[in-house]
Structure 1
């Protein structure tokens, strides 16, 4: 069956219009994100506590960058302590939402406990760090992080080319999965800016 030229032109025109409209919608969504449209609805007490936990997370990342297993253990223990003490019960949210947040922080804490107990070397610590990073990213998306920006970064070569993410407070890529071997391997894949 042969398509008549005027039908072909009509189909191409409709497709181009749809693509342009989709691009405009994407562009307006990008500008809203760039303007920092994500909210952080909880108390300063919660976000001050979360800031302390994130500082420990960044210390853990820094220790892995240096290949410092002792430093990684100290930072992981600090991160676990701070996550365990997040004031979730005082957030003023319904009990099911509070329970979900408690489960989320509990899962991260359990992964950190496993990292501290097993002591399987630098590679095992980096694998646990990957899981902590993914779970912490989900937590931050749920609660926000008032007044902060989080950059989710990705190394496609980590763990035999399976790839892995981590979080940073800067756009500079400093890879905790390879350290000095490939210090700047990776890219920023997402930015969360909170009001």
Structure 2
């Protein structure tokens, strides 16, 4: 699998150059998702449909980026912002409300950036990386109504790698789209209980 990913290094390097931004532009203080521990995704996840609309929007962004469709990613980013606004946080206990609020503040900002940047797919992908970390945390707090797969691209972000959530065992890489659609591997299956 990694050999197939490595065959496109020249394309990866050229694309990566365009993604570098001024570090201050994307520095976010107090984010709940600066690090994603696999431990939170390795334990049991509650079966819950509370965040189904948020998850649907996230998955639509993922699919759009995997298809190199920046306009659809933007539309889905806008839908995600609306899904956050209509989420019934009162249905959560006090601890989960607090955790949710911390995660959503950052996640909403990334969804907004994706929604506002149609035509700038590399920029959308940068925010999708951060949004994915937030979504992993959100699923660990709120639960999921479906089985999810935690997938990993080893080459994104100057070979530091990046993760994403999917509903399919088939790898469809949102960070490189058609350049390296099948680059990556499944790290974990998340089955709500």
TM over 0.5: yes
TM-score of the superposed pair, with normalisation by structure 1: 0.71
> Which residue in 1 is equivalent to 2:105?
106
CA distance, structure 2, for counterparts of residue 131 and residue 109 of structure 1: 11
> Which residue in 2 is equivalent to 1:63?
64
Alpha-carbon deviation of 1:119? 5.4
TM-score of the superposed pair, with normalisation by structure 2: 0.72
SS at 1:125's partner residue?
Answer: helix
Alpha-carbon deviation of 1:83? 2.0
CA RMSD of aligned residues (A): 2.0
> Which residue in 2 is equivalent to 1:28?
none
5+ residue gaps, structure 2, are 1-41
Greater RCO structure (CA 8 Å; 6+ sep) = 2
CA distance, structure 1, for counterparts of residue 127 and residue 110 of structure 2: 6
CA distance, structure 2, for counterparts of residue 194 and residue 107 of structure 1: 24
Number of matched pairs:
152
Map Cα deviations across residues 114-152 of structure 1 (whole Å, 9 max, x no partner): 333455711110010010011100110122114x21111
User: Max radius of gyration: which structure?
Assistant: 1
CA distance, structure 2, for counterparts of residue 169 and residue 41 of structure 1: 15
> Which residue in 2 is equivalent to 1:193?
191
CA distance, structure 1, for counterparts of residue 118 and residue 160 of structure 2: 23
Map Cα deviations across residues 89-138 of structure 1 (whole Å, 9 max, x no partner): 132x12x4312212212210012123334557111100100100111001
CA distance, structure 1, for counterparts of residue 90 and residue 100 of structure 2: 10
> Which residue in 1 is equivalent to 2:55?
54
Q: How does 1:159-178 map to 2 (within 5 A)?
A: 159-178=157-176
* Structure (1 or 2) with the greater helix fraction: 1
Q: 1:99 to 1:162 in 2, by over 3 A?
A: same
